[in-house]
Amino acid sequence: MNATDLAQRAYAPTTAPTKSHRSVEYEVIARITFRLKQAIEADKFPKLLEALHENRKLWRTLAVEVADDNNLLPSDLRARIFYLAEFTDIHTSKVIARQATPIALLEINTAILRGLKQTGAST
């Protein structure tokens, strides 16, 4: 390979597709959901605490995003996401106190993933 070939490759357009915001959201939620599921299945409380913390951070971030007046989602969807964030926060506290099971949190995340996938997250 000569210098011209190397230069052409260096400045050639990338072949990796650009990910949409929705696909990035899907990947983040899927990764956190997988960790939560693994922690539940492992039945090890310290691992579950780590997954719960990560999940809580995710939902707090989502709540902040949908509370922003500049968010372009429909207001009813924003309200439902905000409600789920509040529920997740309260339920996470109950799981940490060993007063509830984390299954509801897993189910919520799974439902969100299904919704994102139906609206084209993988593109």
In a domain, 84, yes or no: yes
Report the candidate in 96, 68, 92, 72 with the shortest Cα–Cα distance to residue 82. 68
The verdict on residue 57 lying in a domain is: yes
Domain with 43 in it: what CATH number?
Answer: 1.20.120
* Predicted structure pTM score: 0.79
Q: Whose structure tokens read 């310290």?
A: 46
On whether residue 75 sits in a domain, the answer given is: yes
**HEC letters along 14-32:** CCCCCCCHHHHHHHHHHHH
What are residue 19's phi and psi, to 5 degrees?
A: -85, 145
pLDDT tens digits, one per residue of 80-96:
999 999 999 999 999 99
Mean of pLDDT over the chain: 87
Average pLDDT rounded to a whole number, residues 112-119: 87
Q: Cα-flanking dihedrals φ and ψ of residue 11, to 5°?
A: -105, 5
CA distance 96 to 105: 12
Question: Alpha-carbon distance 81 to 102, whole Å?
Answer: 19
Regarding predicted confidence, which is higher, 21 or 44?
44
Domain boundaries, position 111 = 19-118
In-domain check, residue 10: no
In this prediction, residue 123 carries a pLDDT of 45
DSSP 99-118: SS-THHHHHHHHHHHHHHHH
